[in-house]
Amino acid sequence: MTAPCPPPSTSEPSREERARALCLRLLTARSRTRAELAGQLAKRGYPDDISNRVLDRLASVGLVDDTDFAENWVQTRRANSGKSKRALAAELHNKGVDNDVITEVLAGIDAGAERARAEQLVRARLRREALTEDDTRVIRKLVAMLARRGYGQTVACEVALAELATERERRRV
């Protein structure tokens, strides 16, 4: 004869367990900063002591790491969106990443790499342009595209002018 199964637990999960489950659900969708998770917990009414315990535990097991998040964010946003250092710093700041971490992560991007990425973006856009418009209009569109990605006006204008001249010369040949 087999022993009877114990009755199912009827106790509710504790607030800390519910907070941990919420964080794990959020982390399943994408990685998040500690500040983002803390904001979600606060929005749902979890007290700071519970939030801090849950977030400390998640950090200790490596599920929440702002430096790792920032490095991945920068790599992805530069590759996919062509964002500048300035735009990336603003995005990371909005996500609650510490300024020291932002500075550390963005230190690897120098002015030359930033300009090279701007040139790639402009070249890609020019390949799709018909170039029947006057140069002023094309340059304005290119500078606006770079400005939306956080590039400064000087770099945007220099790159747009140089790449447009190169593209016009290439099409003449």
* Separation CA 44–CA 83 (nearest Å): 33
Q: What pLDDT score does 173 carry? A: 59
One domain for residues 53 and 85: no
Q: What pLDDT score does 83 carry? A: 94
Q: What pLDDT score does 133 carry? A: 66
**Is there a domain that residue 1 lies in?**
no
Which long-range contacts link 131-138 to residues 24+ away (Cβ below 8 Å)? Answer: 131/167, 131/168, 131/171, 135/164, 138/164
Tokens describing residue 49: 């002591």
Q: What pLDDT score does 6 carry? A: 58
**Is there a domain that residue 37 lies in?**
yes
Q: What is the mean pLDDT of each run of 10 residues along the chain (173 residues)?
A: 58 85 95 96 95 96 95 93 94 96 93 92 87 81 94 94 88 71
**Is there a domain that residue 82 lies in?**
yes
DSSP 56: H
pTM equals: 0.81
Work out how many domains the chain is built from and give that number.
3
CATH number for the domain spanning 91: value is 1.10.10
One domain for residues 104 and 115: no
Helices (H), the chain: 15-29, 34-43, 48-60, 66-81, 85-94, 99-106, 111-128, 135-148, 153-172
Q: Give the three-state DSSP class for 19.
A: helix
With contact defined as beta carbons under 8 Å apart, do 80 and 67 qualify?
Answer: no
**CA-to-CA dists, residue 22 to 35, 81, 133, angstroms:** 14, 30, 53
One domain for residues 117 and 142: yes
pLDDT in tens, 28-47: 999 999 999 999 999 999 99
Residue 34 belongs to what domain range? 15-61
Q: What pLDDT score does 90 carry? A: 96
Identify the CA nearest to 58 among candidates 28, 89, 99.
28
**Is there a domain that residue 6 lies in?**
no
* Separation CA 110–CA 113 (nearest Å): 5
* Separation CA 143–CA 70 (nearest Å): 27
**Is there a domain that residue 163 lies in?**
yes
One domain for residues 46 and 74: no
**Is there a domain that residue 137 lies in?**
yes
